[in-house]
Amino acid sequence: MLTKRQNLLETVRGGKPDRYVNQYEALAMLMNNPYTVNNPAPEYGKGPMKNAWGVTNVWPEGTPGGFPIHDEEHIVCKDITDWKNYVHAPRLDYSDAEWEPYIKAAEEIDRKEYFVTQFIAPGIFEQCHHLQEIQNCLMNFYEEPEATQELIDYLTEWELQYAEKICRYIKPDAIFHHDDWGSQTSTFISPAMFEEFILPSYKKIYGYYKSHGVELIIHHSDSYAATLVPYMIDMGIDIWQGTMSSNNIPELIEKYGGQITFMGGIDSASIDRPDWTPELVDKEVRRVCQENGTKYFIPCLTQGLGISTFPGVYEATSEVIEKISKEIF
């Protein structure tokens, strides 16, 4: 029997996996390091929390994640043309001693069984709209492209500095990087605009990780982004996690399998809901596995971590995937 790590590699390489990769099972996710513990995140069902970038986030009950508060009072960057006076990147100059507990945590993971995986969020596009408010951000791509590019360059440079610290201290096998690029039915910006503004940044960031020993780049975008897949491949993404069913996954596997693997298919909204039942989960997961096959596909809730909004859904999904694996492999 292959280890979880071996089975994932066989899946993404088009080899001979002996079962489905079961959601996040092969990824030993590292959430914390000196930067993240000084970058407060909102807690589920609790009040607002201001992070190290000055963005105030809140995570209401019954929702899959936190999101910024964007009334006039809380928007950080109120004028993109004056972004330098509003946006101030957090410090990254933490000492070796401050990194030591997180180095130890990484060293305790069995790298033969798991990928030591550093979690990173938000990404370049999300950080842009977290700082500005999403409507303002999207308008500024059109109305203030030069200032928008300057902000993106600034965020990219900070991410590269962060990447250097992560690679030096944690030496991860994989990166799990969030950046939502669309709604359920469309991308937020056109492919041409994505190519102009976003692709160059990620070629630098993901290129840095790959050149410093990171084997897998896993990018989360639980959205429609089928039109961006060629750019995902170009920037070095190995696994697109969060691939919603609206992307026509079988068609994507047929066209791009061997260049990128698709992780998702089980739209969280379809089963991760208050009235979920084991029968509903079983029916949906079986449908998804049947439609997408076993090559270059990892069945997974589209949620951007190994959790669910409503208790029990993630675990029930994993149980069905395990059952199906025994039936078809």
- How many whole angstroms separate alpha carbon 206 and alpha carbon 50? 28
Half-sphere exposure of 263 (CA within 13 A, CB side): 28
- How many whole angstroms separate alpha carbon 251 and alpha carbon 204? 29
The per-residue pLDDT for 304 is: 96
Q: How far apart are the two ends of the chain, measured CA to CA in Å?
A: 12
* Sheet strand arrangement including 216-223: 27-30, 115-120, 174-178, 216-223, 239-243, 261-266, 297-301
- In 3-state terms, what secondary structure has residue 80? helix
288's tokens: 């998804």
Q: Could you give phi then psi for residue 117, rounded to 5 degrees? A: -120, 120
- How many whole angstroms separate alpha carbon 320 and alpha carbon 329? 14
Half-sphere exposure of 18 (CA within 13 A, CB side): 6
| Residues 298, 263 contacting (CB under 8 angstroms) | yes
184's tokens: 């359920």
The per-residue pLDDT for 267 is: 97
Question: Residue 121 maps to which CATH number?
Answer: 3.20.20.210
Handedness of CA 254, 203, 265, 300 (dihedral sign): positive
The per-residue pLDDT for 12 is: 97
Q: Which helix (H) or strand (E) holds 167?
A: helix 145-169
Q: Measure Cα distances from 89 to 39, 72, 130 in Å.
A: 11, 21, 13
The per-residue pLDDT for 261 is: 98
Would residue 43 count as lying in a domain?
Answer: no
Q: Are strands 56-58 and 49-50 parallel, antiparallel or unpaired?
A: antiparallel
| AA letter at 262 | F
Would residue 82 count as lying in a domain?
Answer: yes
Would residue 47 count as lying in a domain?
Answer: no
Would residue 48 count as lying in a domain?
Answer: no
Please give the angle made by the CA atoms of 55, 268 and 52, to the nearest 5 degrees. 15
| AA letter at 46 | K
Would residue 44 count as lying in a domain?
Answer: no
42 preceded by a cis bond (ω within 30 of 0): no
Would residue 50 count as lying in a domain?
Answer: no
Please tell me the total count of domains within the chain.
1
CA dihedral 277→282→284→287, nearest 10 degrees, is: -160
Q: Which domain holds residue 65?
A: 4-32+61-328
Q: Is 27 exposed, middle or buried (0-12, 13-18, 19+ CB in 10 A)?
A: buried
Q: State which residues of the chain have pLDDT below 50.
A: none
Whether the model pTM is above 0.95: yes
> How distant is the alpha carbon of residue 41 from its chain centre?
16
CA proximity to 324, closest of 288, 277, 273, 278? 288
CB within 8 Å of 192: residues ≥ 6 apart: none
Would residue 45 count as lying in a domain?
Answer: no
Would residue 42 count as lying in a domain?
Answer: no
Q: Measure Cα distances from 62 to 65, 100, 271, 305 in Å.
A: 9, 36, 13, 16
- How many whole angstroms separate alpha carbon 305 and alpha carbon 66? 13
The per-residue pLDDT for 62 is: 86
- How many whole angstroms separate alpha carbon 213 and alpha carbon 310? 37
